[in-house]
Amino acid sequence: MPSPREEIQRESNPKLLLWSADLLRTHGNAGSLKLLIELHKADPESVYNTWFINNEERLKAFRSVRQGVLQVIDDIQAKRFGNDFKGSSLEVVLNCITEQKQVFEGAAHPFYWKPKLRIPDIYENEANKAAFGMFLENCIRATKEDLLLREIIQLDSRAIKGLGPAVASILYFLHPTIMPPFNTAIVNGFNTLFGEKVKLGSWPEYLKMRETILAKNSEWKSEILWFPKGTKKFSRKMPRKISIRKCSSTF
C-alpha cells in the first residue's frame, strides 16, 4: 500500500491541494499537513515558489495596488468616481490584482456594474460610494488589526447591496499578513482542506475562515514563511470587543 507521500506525488501539481484534502482528513494528523506543505515548497512550479516568495513582481503588485487604492479614494472624495466600473480607478486596481496568479482570477467580477440588479450599489448611490471610499481610506491607514475589523463590521452594517467580502481581495494587498483574499476558488479549497462549510458572500463567514487561516499560519509559520519581505507584522492580539456575530449581511 503506497504511503501518503507516494500517493500525493503521483497526482498532477495543479490538483495537489484539492485532491490531497481527502488524504489529509483520512490520516487526520499534523504530519500529513506538514507533508503537503513540504511538497508544495519542493515543487519549483508551485505558486508558492513562482509567486509567493522572493518575487519582485509580486512585491511590485502590492505597491501598485496600494497606489491604485489611494487614487480610488482621491477620486471618490473629489467626486470624480463615475457610475460604472469600466474606466474607473477601481478597475485599474482590480486589473492589477487579477494579473497575479490564478488564485485571483475573477476577483474583479463582483465589482462589475450589473445594471439589471443595480449592484454593487457603490456607483449610483453617493452615500454608499462615500462610505466605500472612507472604508478604503481607513483600512489603508490602519496600523492595528482591531481597526481593520471595526471597519469591516461598520461596512457590513451598512448592508450595501452587492458589496461583500470580495473586497477582501483588495484588503489582502494592503495588509497581506492578516487579511487573506476571498473568492470562490479560495473558499472551495479551504472547505475541502479543512472539512468546513464556509459560504460565499458573507463577512461573518469570511472572518471565521480568516481566523482558521491565521491560526494555521501561526502554527506553521516556520514552514510557510508567511510574512513577505518589507511588510509590517501586526500584533495578533484579538480585541475581545470585536465579534463576528455583529456581521450579518450577505450578497
Q: What is the pLDDT of residue 33?
A: 78
50 domain-assigned? no
Q: How confident is the model at residue 239 (pLDDT cuts 50, 70, 90)?
A: very low
Q: What is the pLDDT of residue 242?
A: 37
Q: Are residues 122 and 224 in the same domain?
A: yes
Domain of residue 77 covers: 55-251
Q: Is the pTM of this model over 0.85?
A: no
- pLDDT, tens digit, for every residue of 115-125? 999 999 999 99
Q: What is the mean pLDDT of residues 207-223?
A: 91
How many domains would you assign to the chain?
2
Q: Are residues 237 and 123 in the same domain?
A: yes
Q: Are residues 41 and 163 in the same domain?
A: no
Long-range contacts of 65-70 (CB under 8 A, 24+ apart): 65/93, 65/96, 65/97, 65/170, 65/173, 65/174, 66/140, 66/173, 66/174, 68/92, 68/93, 68/96, 69/93, 69/136, 69/140, 69/170, 69/173, 69/174, 70/140
Q: Are residues 92 and 198 in the same domain?
A: yes
Q: Are residues 77 and 12 in the same domain?
A: no
- Cell, residue 107: 476577483
Q: Are residues 65 and 121 in the same domain?
A: yes
